[in-house]
Structure 1
């Protein structure tokens, strides 16, 4: 029975433990399946995992909300250098409209402040005034759309000059430093090398790195595929990609997408999936012109400016 105003229920926000990961997975799946009215909620997102690999990554932090010892909500926040991404945020449907998400977001803000990040972002439903209003109360303000785009994988050959992070004989630290330099030049403090390590250490996919004529990295893509990743069945999923700024960025971006397609063929995947903020005009238009089709639309919400969402940023990411 819901608590009355005379007897309000106590919501405790605590760290999520390893023993609770399976329960958190089910809660996330049920919450999103119920909200979007999935025809078969029990089968929703059974082919992907947004919980275990993020919990195991040192740059991410999970919180749970409990009432009388029962888990009723979870939230993840990931640190990308001086930037952070919030999500997923999920509340058990039986406890909607009972301020659970508000309690989780209070804990989230405490974590963001402890990290001292200059910018944080999240993705939510663009047609949900309730969700947008919730996040606005915590200083997140809506800006442009986020498009999750898909394209069938083709049998075209891939480009040369592609390295794989963690491959035998490669200098992993040097490659990490080079990728961090690319993102830092686009947005000061942006560092997604934790995602690179998570993919390598947990065997979630691969990180592709393009090098220029001088053998210097100038683009990279952190990619998931397989049953324990965030990709989904038959999907080669680019979680984050970036191209060094400059006049060659559009052509390098095209080469990077070609490299992802070739890697998807090698991994026997059928669909290439990417996310892009529509404020990154060059990257978004290029993908549309090349036949990528929108699967999901979300809205970006920002705390501390617009981050790296501008026309000169040739970046792909997905804040789900």
Structure 2
């Protein structure tokens, strides 16, 4: 049963620090970290996503302050849900459901062809929660890491940060859309690409050959990014064919080395 004083409202810039605490405490406690506040290191997922997609950021609040958060991303015809986090003292009290009710109503207004999320496949609480909202498991996705080799042999890639004017950026976006639309009709990552540039949160890489765009990746790395300073996080990647993937990953690894990331 939820607290009678609980409200769910849009997140504001004044909420970001409290939302970040709820995010770290919720995930860090669930994962059993000795100090839950160390979850995510110096990464800034809550702050980054609020700046990038403020219309999909909400907080749950009681008289004690912010006790839960939910955020998402909007990429053309798709909406991604997450992260959703609740302060441990409020687990099992219906806070997550209240957050989901508000978020999904907003997501529905965007008329996406697909709304999706990632969750803990082994959790006896997460999967049933989302099934109440007609989300069903489809793919088992592995999160994988490797030590960065800064000297890796990688193909040259165009970088969005190096575009020089609006025309150059429009050409870059068009090349990326040719790849994303080929993967899923209506999938457009322009907002993510631009948010990474504006926040200095990493880089977008584009590989092009004589036949046109062959692969692209949005990589978070460095201060202000979702990954923080110790890791380069490939948030999104798509390739025209399987034989382009290794080159794309090598380009991401080289970028991580330039940013000082270790993994």
Q: TM-score range by the shorter chain?
A: over 0.9
Moved more, 168-177 or 13-22: 168-177
TM-score by length of 1: 0.77
Number of matched pairs: 260
Q: Which residue of 2 aligns with 1:266?
A: 258
Q: Contact (CA 8 Å) 1:182, 1:219: kept in 2 or not?
A: yes
Q: Given the alignment, which residue of 218, 242, 245 partners 1:250?
A: 242
Q: Given the alignment, which residue of 181, 184, 192 partners 1:184?
A: 181
Structure 1 stretches lacking a partner, 5+ long: 272-320
Q: What whole-Å deviation, never above 9, does each CA across 1:71-100 have from its counterpart, x for those lacking one?
A: 111100211111111001001111111100
Q: Given the alignment, which residue of 58, 70, 86 partners 1:75?
A: 70
Distance 1:233 1:166, change over 3 A: closer
1-structure distance, mates of 2:176, 2:136:
29
Q: Which residue of 2 aligns with 1:225?
A: 221
Q: What whole-Å deviation, never above 9, does each CA across 1:142-200 have from its counterpart, x for those lacking one?
A: 1221111111112223213x100131436111111221121111110111111100110
Q: Given the alignment, which residue of 146, 149, 153 partners 1:151?
A: 146
Deviation at 1:17, TM superposition (A): 0.6
Residue 21 in structure 1 maps to residue 16 in structure 2: yes
Deviation at 1:59, TM superposition (A): 7.0
2-structure distance, mates of 1:103, 1:230:
25
Deviation at 1:58, TM superposition (A): 4.0
Q: Contact (CA 8 Å) 1:66, 1:72: kept in 2 or not?
A: yes
2-structure distance, mates of 1:42, 1:57:
23
Deviation at 1:60, TM superposition (A): 5.4
Q: What root-mean-square deviation, in Å, do the aligned CA atoms of Structure 1 and Structure 2 show?
A: 1.7
- 1:93-132 map, 5 Å: 93-132=88-127
| Structure holding more strand per residue | 1
Deviation at 1:258, TM superposition (A): 1.4
Distance 1:59 1:218, change over 3 A: farther
